Amino acid sequence: MQQATIISTGMSVPEQIISNEYFNNLYGEDVDSWLKEHVQIYNRRWCSNKESTADLAVSAGRKAIENGGISPSEIDLIIVATDTPEYISPATSAIVQHRLGANNSGTFDLNAACAGFVTALDVAAKYLRSDHRYHYILVIGAYAMSKYLNLHDKKTATLFADGAGAILLHGREDKNTGWQTSYLKTEGKYSDYMGIYGGGTKNPFNERVLSQHLHQLQFVQKFPKSINPDTWTEIILQMAGELDISPKEVDHFFITQINIYSIWDTLDRLKIDRGKAYTIMHDYGYTGSACIPMALHDAVEKNRIKKGDLIFFIGSGGGLAFAGAAFRY
């Protein structure tokens, strides 16, 4: 059986940097101190009017292909994980495929909100493990949530940002590297707590949708305070148990970068060194389905990851959707 191994990464962010000071001026109050203290966000990147999700995805994907040392024509499948697509239809992945010149690949989009990338990574691994016709799969997490922000809503406008990250997977006959295990979970009872509720078949675009800002990201209700640490802990224990290891034996954790204290709380519960969680929200804000592959690329570029390291990827997002995947690098 082929094993799904990580051979390269890529990342892309818009040039436009939005600092916390921007929001201090916008709201006429000190937002900067709260953001630094409570979520560790100092800056974020937003797309210009001429940039979009596909632009970011293409750039990140191209870098992963170049870093992997292969031709775009060798890619068998492209999966784009996003909940900020280029269009409602057609799929963003089709646009990305054409612009990359990956003319021999199949494509599809996957939407599990901010858990989408880890979910897509698991799906890609299963393609490689179960079907010998697949050899290279490009998985991209792309996010342009700035396009859906209401600047009058401090709760969303100050947190969310844009970016894309990509991982190139290769099928190899090596059981000691690559995909090890995974775990998916959804708490659908929270599906109406946060989202973009306009523009679909339930609320097609009309004057009411626009006046109620349903076409923009909204926090409708507060999630239970410990929902992320509780579920992330559950996922870590589940995957560690399946691998018959202690959670302390995991070398690196790449967890949804929405709140540094939720990440630390999770590791503290398991008595794991906080330094094992790699985070980039201080520079890039919260980039949803892109944050985990972006963080991995940053870590790889800084030589923080070495061959043989055990990595746990853990994502969570609206729905509420959760996903975990373990890989040996």
Domain 179-328 in the same topology as domain 3-175: yes
Angle at 15 between CA 12 and CA 16, to 5 degrees: 130
- Which CATH number is associated with domain 179-328? 3.40.47.10
pTM to 2 decimal places = 0.96
Q: What is the pLDDT of residue 76?
A: 98
Q: What is the mean pLDDT of the chain?
A: 96
* Structural domain spans, the chain: 3-175, 179-328
The per-residue b/e assignment along 162-192, b for 16 or more CB within 10 angstroms, e otherwise, is bbbbbbbbbbeeeeebbbbbbbbeebeebee
What is the spatial distance between Cα 242 and Cα 204, in angstroms, rounded to a whole number?
A: 44
% pLDDT > 90, the chain: 95
- Which CATH number is associated with domain 3-175? 3.40.47.10
pLDDT above 90 (res 91): yes
- Report pLDDT digits (tens) over 98-135: 999 999 999 999 999 999 999 999 999 999 999 999 99
CA atoms lying within 13 Å on the CB side of residue 175: 1
| Residues 279-300, mean pLDDT to the nearest whole number | 98
